[in-house]
Amino acid sequence: MALALTEENFEKIVNAGKVVVVDFWAEWCMPCKMIGPIMDELANEVDTDKVTITKCDVDKERNIAINYSITSIPSILFFKDGKVMDQIVGAVPKKMLVDKINELI
C-alpha cells in the first residue's frame, strides 16, 4: 500500500535518497479513485530500496499541495534526491508510471 504523506513526514521521505512518487489526490475525485489502486499495486511491486510510492491527500495536506502548485488532480510528482524530476497530471496507465520510475532509478 502507498505510504500517506503528511507535513510531518514529507521532507524526511522525499529527501531519503530514493525515487519518490507522490500521488496528489482527494477522496471526491473520480480519476483519483481510478489511479489509487494502481499506486497501491506499484507500492507492492517496486524495489523499496530504490523507490517509495506515496499518496498525499490535498484536502488534508493543503500546504504541501500549495508548495508544489498542484491545481489539478490526480497529479503525480516524481522526486529524486529531493527534487521534482517530472510530473504527470490525470489518470494514466500503469505502464506509463512504471516507465517513468524506471527512467529515474
What positions carry a catalytic annotation? 29, 32
* Measured CA angle at 26 (ends 44, 36), to 5 deg: 25
Specify the DSSP element, H or E, that contains 63.
Answer: helix 62-67
Residue with cell 491545481: 71
Contact 2, 41 (CB under 8 A): no
